[in-house]
Amino acid sequence: MTTIDDPLLAAREREATEPEAEITLAFENNRHASLVFGLYDQNLAKIERRLRVSSFANGNHVTLKGKAEACEHARRVLEALYERVALGQAITLGDVDGAIEETARQRSLFPDSEPARGAFEQIMTRKRGSVRARNAAQDQYLRALKRYELVFAEGPAGTGKTWLAVGHAVQLMEQGAVERLILSRPAVEAGERLGFLPGDMRDKVDPYLRPIYDALHDFMDARMVERGMQTGLIEVAPLAFMRGRTLTRSCILLDEAQNASSMQMKMFLTRLGEGSRMIVTGDPSQTDLPPGQKSGLSEAVSLLSDLDVVGRVRFSEGDVVRHDLVRQIVGAYERAARANKQPRGEA
Protein backbone atom coordinates (compact mmCIF):
# COMPACT_ATOMS: atom_id res chain seq x y z
CA MET A 1 0.00 0.00 0.00
CA THR A 2 1.25 3.48 -0.85
CA THR A 3 2.43 5.51 2.16
CA ILE A 4 0.52 8.75 2.69
CA ASP A 5 2.78 11.67 3.59
CA ASP A 6 1.64 14.42 5.94
CA PRO A 7 1.83 17.71 4.01
CA LEU A 8 0.90 19.69 7.15
CA LEU A 9 3.95 18.38 8.99
CA ALA A 10 6.24 19.25 6.08
CA ALA A 11 4.73 22.73 5.89
CA ARG A 12 5.32 23.35 9.59
CA GLU A 13 8.96 22.33 9.28
CA ARG A 14 9.43 24.94 6.54
CA GLU A 15 7.62 27.59 8.61
CA ALA A 16 10.34 27.62 11.28
CA THR A 17 12.69 29.71 9.12
CA GLU A 18 10.09 31.87 7.37
CA PRO A 19 9.44 35.57 8.00
CA GLU A 20 6.20 36.93 9.42
CA ALA A 21 3.46 37.98 7.01
CA GLU A 22 0.06 39.66 6.99
CA ILE A 23 -2.75 38.97 4.52
CA THR A 24 -6.15 40.70 4.34
CA LEU A 25 -9.08 39.06 2.55
CA ALA A 26 -12.31 40.79 1.54
CA PHE A 27 -15.27 38.61 0.54
CA GLU A 28 -18.03 40.00 -1.66
CA ASN A 29 -21.00 38.64 0.28
CA ASN A 30 -21.25 39.51 3.98
CA ARG A 31 -23.66 36.65 4.77
CA HIS A 32 -21.45 34.09 3.06
CA ALA A 33 -18.41 35.49 4.89
CA SER A 34 -20.14 35.11 8.26
CA LEU A 35 -20.92 31.46 7.43
CA VAL A 36 -17.29 30.88 6.51
CA PHE A 37 -16.08 32.43 9.77
CA GLY A 38 -18.58 30.32 11.73
CA LEU A 39 -20.72 30.98 14.79
CA TYR A 40 -18.70 33.21 17.12
CA ASP A 41 -15.84 32.81 14.60
CA GLN A 42 -15.37 29.15 15.58
CA ASN A 43 -14.15 28.20 12.11
CA LEU A 44 -11.49 30.89 12.27
CA ALA A 45 -10.48 29.63 15.71
CA LYS A 46 -10.06 26.13 14.27
CA ILE A 47 -7.85 27.49 11.47
CA GLU A 48 -5.79 29.44 14.03
CA ARG A 49 -5.13 26.29 16.08
CA ARG A 50 -4.34 24.03 13.13
CA LEU A 51 -2.18 26.45 11.12
CA ARG A 52 -0.72 28.56 13.95
CA VAL A 53 -1.85 31.91 12.63
CA SER A 54 -3.80 34.81 14.12
CA SER A 55 -7.00 36.06 12.53
CA PHE A 56 -9.02 39.25 12.99
CA ALA A 57 -12.47 39.36 11.41
CA ASN A 58 -14.43 42.57 10.76
CA GLY A 59 -17.57 42.29 8.66
CA ASN A 60 -16.65 40.65 5.38
CA HIS A 61 -12.92 41.27 5.95
CA VAL A 62 -10.42 39.03 7.74
CA THR A 63 -6.74 39.70 8.43
CA LEU A 64 -4.32 36.81 8.86
CA LYS A 65 -0.98 37.18 10.65
CA GLY A 66 1.78 34.62 11.12
CA LYS A 67 4.43 32.80 9.14
CA ALA A 68 4.19 33.53 5.42
CA GLU A 69 3.39 29.99 4.27
CA ALA A 70 0.89 29.44 7.09
CA CYS A 71 -0.94 32.65 6.20
CA GLU A 72 -1.01 31.64 2.53
CA HIS A 73 -2.36 28.23 3.52
CA ALA A 74 -5.08 29.86 5.67
CA ARG A 75 -6.01 32.11 2.73
CA ARG A 76 -6.51 29.10 0.47
CA VAL A 77 -8.62 27.40 3.13
CA LEU A 78 -10.90 30.41 3.58
CA GLU A 79 -11.32 30.86 -0.17
CA ALA A 80 -12.15 27.17 -0.59
CA LEU A 81 -14.74 27.37 2.19
CA TYR A 82 -16.23 30.52 0.67
CA GLU A 83 -16.66 28.71 -2.67
CA ARG A 84 -18.56 25.92 -0.90
CA VAL A 85 -20.82 28.37 0.92
CA ALA A 86 -21.51 30.21 -2.34
CA LEU A 87 -22.71 26.86 -3.77
CA GLY A 88 -25.18 26.52 -0.90
CA GLN A 89 -23.18 23.92 1.05
CA ALA A 90 -23.14 24.01 4.84
CA ILE A 91 -19.80 24.32 6.66
CA THR A 92 -18.99 22.35 9.82
CA LEU A 93 -15.82 22.17 11.88
CA GLY A 94 -15.14 18.85 10.17
CA ASP A 95 -15.35 20.57 6.80
CA VAL A 96 -12.78 23.10 8.02
CA ASP A 97 -10.42 20.24 8.91
CA GLY A 98 -11.04 18.72 5.51
CA ALA A 99 -10.32 22.00 3.70
CA ILE A 100 -7.06 22.37 5.63
CA GLU A 101 -5.93 18.86 4.65
CA GLU A 102 -7.08 19.28 1.04
CA THR A 103 -5.38 22.60 0.42
CA ALA A 104 -2.17 21.35 2.07
CA ARG A 105 -2.13 18.39 -0.28
CA GLN A 106 -2.91 20.50 -3.34
CA ARG A 107 -0.03 22.84 -2.56
CA SER A 108 2.37 19.92 -2.14
CA LEU A 109 1.34 18.62 -5.57
CA PHE A 110 1.53 22.00 -7.28
CA PRO A 111 4.19 24.00 -5.37
CA ASP A 112 4.93 26.43 -8.18
CA SER A 113 1.44 27.05 -9.48
CA GLU A 114 -2.09 27.71 -8.36
CA PRO A 115 -3.54 24.59 -6.72
CA ALA A 116 -6.14 22.60 -8.66
CA ARG A 117 -9.68 22.84 -7.31
CA GLY A 118 -11.49 19.81 -5.94
CA ALA A 119 -8.45 17.52 -5.55
CA PHE A 120 -10.21 15.35 -2.95
CA GLU A 121 -12.87 12.89 -4.14
CA GLN A 122 -16.49 13.36 -3.12
CA ILE A 123 -19.81 11.52 -3.10
CA MET A 124 -23.20 13.04 -3.86
CA THR A 125 -26.57 11.98 -2.46
CA ARG A 126 -29.97 13.66 -2.72
CA LYS A 127 -30.38 14.34 0.99
CA ARG A 128 -26.80 15.11 2.00
CA GLY A 129 -25.62 16.78 -1.19
CA SER A 130 -21.87 16.83 -1.75
CA VAL A 131 -19.68 15.08 0.83
CA ARG A 132 -15.96 15.56 0.26
CA ALA A 133 -13.11 13.49 1.70
CA ARG A 134 -11.52 15.21 4.69
CA ASN A 135 -8.01 13.79 4.45
CA ALA A 136 -5.75 11.89 2.05
CA ALA A 137 -6.76 8.48 3.44
CA GLN A 138 -10.47 9.19 2.89
CA ASP A 139 -9.65 10.46 -0.59
CA GLN A 140 -7.82 7.23 -1.37
CA TYR A 141 -10.78 5.29 0.08
CA LEU A 142 -13.37 7.02 -2.12
CA ARG A 143 -11.18 6.53 -5.19
CA ALA A 144 -10.84 2.82 -4.37
CA LEU A 145 -14.61 2.48 -3.92
CA LYS A 146 -15.14 3.92 -7.40
CA ARG A 147 -12.46 1.75 -9.01
CA TYR A 148 -12.72 -1.73 -7.45
CA GLU A 149 -15.56 -4.24 -7.07
CA LEU A 150 -14.12 -5.40 -3.72
CA VAL A 151 -12.55 -2.99 -1.22
CA PHE A 152 -11.10 -3.66 2.24
CA ALA A 153 -10.83 -0.74 4.68
CA GLU A 154 -8.95 -1.22 7.95
CA GLY A 155 -8.40 1.26 10.74
CA PRO A 156 -9.57 2.69 14.08
CA ALA A 157 -13.00 4.00 14.91
CA GLY A 158 -13.82 7.53 13.82
CA THR A 159 -12.01 7.47 10.46
CA GLY A 160 -15.23 7.38 8.42
CA LYS A 161 -14.89 3.84 7.06
CA THR A 162 -18.52 2.80 7.58
CA TRP A 163 -20.09 6.23 7.09
CA LEU A 164 -18.44 6.83 3.71
CA ALA A 165 -19.15 3.27 2.61
CA VAL A 166 -22.87 3.72 3.32
CA GLY A 167 -22.83 7.08 1.52
CA HIS A 168 -21.13 5.52 -1.50
CA ALA A 169 -23.68 2.69 -1.48
CA VAL A 170 -26.60 5.15 -1.39
CA GLN A 171 -25.02 7.12 -4.25
CA LEU A 172 -24.72 3.94 -6.35
CA MET A 173 -28.37 3.09 -5.76
CA GLU A 174 -29.58 6.62 -6.55
CA GLN A 175 -27.53 6.58 -9.76
CA GLY A 176 -29.03 3.24 -10.76
CA ALA A 177 -25.66 1.47 -10.72
CA VAL A 178 -27.05 -1.10 -8.27
CA GLU A 179 -30.59 -2.17 -7.41
CA ARG A 180 -30.19 -3.06 -3.73
CA LEU A 181 -28.20 -2.20 -0.63
CA ILE A 182 -27.27 -5.10 1.64
CA LEU A 183 -25.69 -4.01 4.91
CA SER A 184 -24.38 -6.54 7.39
CA ARG A 185 -22.47 -7.03 10.64
CA PRO A 186 -21.44 -10.07 12.64
CA ALA A 187 -23.71 -10.34 15.72
CA VAL A 188 -20.82 -11.80 17.67
CA GLU A 189 -21.87 -10.30 21.01
CA ALA A 190 -24.93 -12.58 20.91
CA GLY A 191 -22.93 -15.50 19.58
CA GLU A 192 -25.10 -15.32 16.41
CA ARG A 193 -27.81 -17.03 18.50
CA LEU A 194 -30.56 -14.44 18.43
CA GLY A 195 -33.52 -16.66 19.23
CA PHE A 196 -33.54 -15.90 22.94
CA LEU A 197 -33.97 -12.16 22.33
CA PRO A 198 -37.53 -10.74 22.50
CA GLY A 199 -39.46 -9.44 19.47
CA ASP A 200 -39.45 -10.28 15.76
CA MET A 201 -36.28 -10.68 13.70
CA ARG A 202 -35.87 -6.96 13.09
CA ASP A 203 -36.20 -6.26 16.83
CA LYS A 204 -33.54 -8.88 17.51
CA VAL A 205 -30.89 -7.57 15.11
CA ASP A 206 -31.50 -3.80 15.39
CA PRO A 207 -29.13 -3.24 18.37
CA TYR A 208 -26.21 -4.80 16.46
CA LEU A 209 -26.88 -2.82 13.28
CA ARG A 210 -27.78 0.57 14.76
CA PRO A 211 -24.59 2.33 13.50
CA ILE A 212 -25.49 1.33 9.94
CA TYR A 213 -29.05 2.63 10.41
CA ASP A 214 -27.64 5.92 11.68
CA ALA A 215 -25.43 6.27 8.60
CA LEU A 216 -28.35 5.40 6.30
CA HIS A 217 -30.47 8.15 7.82
CA ASP A 218 -27.61 10.62 7.31
CA PHE A 219 -27.73 10.02 3.57
CA MET A 220 -31.43 9.21 2.97
CA ASP A 221 -34.76 10.59 4.16
CA ALA A 222 -36.29 8.48 6.93
CA ARG A 223 -39.37 7.66 4.86
CA MET A 224 -37.18 6.48 1.96
CA VAL A 225 -35.17 4.26 4.31
CA GLU A 226 -38.37 2.74 5.73
CA ARG A 227 -39.87 2.25 2.28
CA GLY A 228 -36.64 0.69 1.00
CA MET A 229 -36.57 -1.78 3.87
CA GLN A 230 -40.22 -2.71 3.36
CA THR A 231 -39.73 -3.33 -0.38
CA GLY A 232 -36.39 -5.11 -0.08
CA LEU A 233 -34.32 -2.38 -1.76
CA ILE A 234 -32.45 -2.01 1.53
CA GLU A 235 -31.63 -5.08 3.57
CA VAL A 236 -29.90 -4.93 6.95
CA ALA A 237 -29.06 -8.35 8.36
CA PRO A 238 -26.52 -10.23 10.51
CA LEU A 239 -23.66 -11.90 8.67
CA ALA A 240 -25.00 -15.39 9.37
CA PHE A 241 -28.04 -14.63 7.17
CA MET A 242 -25.84 -14.27 4.06
CA ARG A 243 -25.19 -18.01 3.76
CA GLY A 244 -26.38 -19.73 0.58
CA ARG A 245 -27.10 -16.55 -1.39
CA THR A 246 -25.69 -15.04 -4.58
CA LEU A 247 -26.10 -11.28 -4.55
CA THR A 248 -26.37 -9.63 -7.97
CA ARG A 249 -26.72 -5.92 -8.88
CA SER A 250 -26.17 -5.04 -5.23
CA CYS A 251 -23.83 -2.99 -3.06
CA ILE A 252 -22.89 -5.19 -0.11
CA LEU A 253 -21.25 -3.80 3.02
CA LEU A 254 -19.78 -5.91 5.83
CA ASP A 255 -19.04 -3.71 8.83
CA GLU A 256 -17.03 -4.70 11.94
CA ALA A 257 -15.50 -7.45 9.80
CA GLN A 258 -12.75 -8.10 12.36
CA ASN A 259 -15.41 -10.08 14.27
CA ALA A 260 -16.04 -12.47 11.38
CA SER A 261 -14.39 -15.87 11.55
CA SER A 262 -12.32 -17.23 8.66
CA MET A 263 -15.19 -19.46 7.55
CA GLN A 264 -17.71 -16.61 7.73
CA MET A 265 -15.45 -14.29 5.73
CA LYS A 266 -14.97 -16.87 2.99
CA MET A 267 -18.73 -17.40 2.90
CA PHE A 268 -19.38 -13.66 2.67
CA LEU A 269 -16.81 -12.93 -0.06
CA THR A 270 -18.19 -15.71 -2.24
CA ARG A 271 -21.66 -14.11 -2.20
CA LEU A 272 -20.46 -11.52 -4.76
CA GLY A 273 -22.57 -11.78 -7.92
CA GLU A 274 -22.75 -10.13 -11.32
CA GLY A 275 -22.89 -6.33 -11.29
CA SER A 276 -22.28 -6.06 -7.52
CA ARG A 277 -19.87 -4.11 -5.35
CA MET A 278 -18.58 -5.32 -1.99
CA ILE A 279 -17.07 -3.24 0.84
CA VAL A 280 -15.48 -4.81 3.93
CA THR A 281 -14.58 -2.55 6.88
CA GLY A 282 -13.14 -3.22 10.31
CA ASP A 283 -10.54 -2.52 12.97
CA PRO A 284 -8.21 -5.52 13.46
CA SER A 285 -7.17 -4.20 16.89
CA GLN A 286 -10.71 -4.45 18.31
CA THR A 287 -11.76 -8.04 17.65
CA ASP A 288 -14.37 -9.63 19.94
CA LEU A 289 -13.63 -13.18 18.77
CA PRO A 290 -12.68 -15.81 21.36
CA PRO A 291 -8.96 -15.97 22.23
CA GLY A 292 -7.01 -17.97 19.69
CA GLN A 293 -9.57 -17.61 16.90
CA LYS A 294 -8.17 -15.86 13.83
CA SER A 295 -10.01 -12.85 12.44
CA GLY A 296 -11.43 -13.44 8.98
CA LEU A 297 -10.63 -9.83 8.05
CA SER A 298 -6.88 -10.17 8.69
CA GLU A 299 -6.75 -13.49 6.90
CA ALA A 300 -8.68 -12.26 3.85
CA VAL A 301 -6.51 -9.14 3.49
CA SER A 302 -3.39 -11.32 3.65
CA LEU A 303 -4.66 -13.92 1.17
CA LEU A 304 -5.97 -11.39 -1.36
CA SER A 305 -3.19 -8.80 -1.08
CA ASP A 306 -1.61 -9.87 -4.39
CA LEU A 307 -4.80 -9.44 -6.43
CA ASP A 308 -4.67 -6.18 -8.37
CA VAL A 309 -8.46 -6.19 -8.78
CA VAL A 310 -8.99 -5.80 -5.02
CA GLY A 311 -8.69 -2.41 -3.28
CA ARG A 312 -7.24 -1.99 0.19
CA VAL A 313 -7.07 1.18 2.30
CA ARG A 314 -5.50 1.39 5.74
CA PHE A 315 -6.42 4.24 8.09
CA SER A 316 -4.37 5.35 11.12
CA GLU A 317 -5.14 7.31 14.27
CA GLY A 318 -4.12 10.49 12.43
CA ASP A 319 -7.06 9.98 10.07
CA VAL A 320 -9.73 10.18 12.80
CA VAL A 321 -12.28 12.81 11.78
CA ARG A 322 -14.48 12.93 14.86
CA HIS A 323 -14.04 15.30 17.78
CA ASP A 324 -10.42 16.36 18.39
CA LEU A 325 -10.54 14.56 21.74
CA VAL A 326 -11.46 11.30 19.98
CA ARG A 327 -8.33 11.62 17.84
CA GLN A 328 -6.23 12.04 20.99
CA ILE A 329 -7.93 9.10 22.73
CA VAL A 330 -7.32 6.79 19.75
CA GLY A 331 -3.71 7.97 19.59
CA ALA A 332 -3.17 7.24 23.30
CA TYR A 333 -4.49 3.69 22.94
CA GLU A 334 -2.39 3.11 19.82
CA ARG A 335 0.77 4.24 21.64
CA ALA A 336 -0.03 1.98 24.58
CA ALA A 337 -0.58 -0.98 22.25
CA ARG A 338 2.75 -0.39 20.51
CA ALA A 339 4.54 -0.13 23.87
CA ASN A 340 3.05 -3.42 25.04
CA LYS A 341 4.33 -5.17 21.90
CA GLN A 342 7.95 -4.13 22.51
CA PRO A 343 10.24 -6.98 23.68
CA ARG A 344 11.35 -6.90 27.28
CA GLY A 345 14.43 -4.79 27.86
CA GLU A 346 13.77 -2.66 24.76
CA ALA A 347 13.47 1.06 25.42
**Least confident stretch, 56-70, 260-274, 282-296:** 282-296
Confidence of residue 171 (pLDDT cuts 50, 70, 90): very high
pLDDT at residue 7, as a whole number: 59
Mean predicted confidence (pLDDT) in 223-243: 88
Residue 10 pLDDT > 70: no
Residue 193 pLDDT > 60: no
| Complete edge-to-edge strand list for the sheet that includes strand 61-67 | 20-26, 61-67, 54-58
Mean predicted confidence (pLDDT) in 107-116: 46
**Least confident stretch, 98-107, 119-128, 201-210:** 201-210
Quote the CATH superfamily of domain 125-341.
P-loop containing nucleotide triphosphate hydrolases (3.40.50.300)
Mean predicted confidence (pLDDT) in 103-111: 60
pLDDT at residue 19, as a whole number: 76
Instruction: Please indicate whether residue 106 or residue 290 has the higher confidence score (pLDDT).
Output: 290
pLDDT at residue 117, as a whole number: 45
Largest Cα–Cα separation, the chain: 69
pTM here is 0.74
Q: Map out the domains of the chain as residue ranges.
A: 7-119, 125-341
pLDDT at residue 270, as a whole number: 93
Query: Which distant-in-sequence residues (6+ apart) come within 8 Å of 298 by Cβ?
Result: 258, 284
Mean predicted confidence (pLDDT) in 171-190: 85
Residue 200 pLDDT > 60: no
Instruction: Please indicate whether residue 145 or residue 112 has the higher confidence score (pLDDT).
Output: 145
User: What is the signed CA dihedral for 27, 30, 35, 38, rounded to 10 degrees?
Assistant: 90
**Least confident stretch, 52-56, 176-180, 199-203, 265-269:** 199-203
Q: Which residues of 32-60 are buried (b: 16+ CB within 10 A; e: fewer)?
A: bbbbbbbeebebbebbbebbebebebeeb
Residue range 7-119 forms a domain whose CATH class is: alpha beta
Mean predicted confidence (pLDDT) in 174-198: 73
The C-alpha atoms of residue 253 and residue 251 are separated, in whole angstroms, by 7
- Integer angstrom CA distances of residue 169 from 111, 137, 252, 283: 35, 19, 8, 20
- Integer angstrom CA distances of residue 43 from 57, 165, 178, 322: 11, 27, 38, 16
Confidence of residue 192 (pLDDT cuts 50, 70, 90): very low
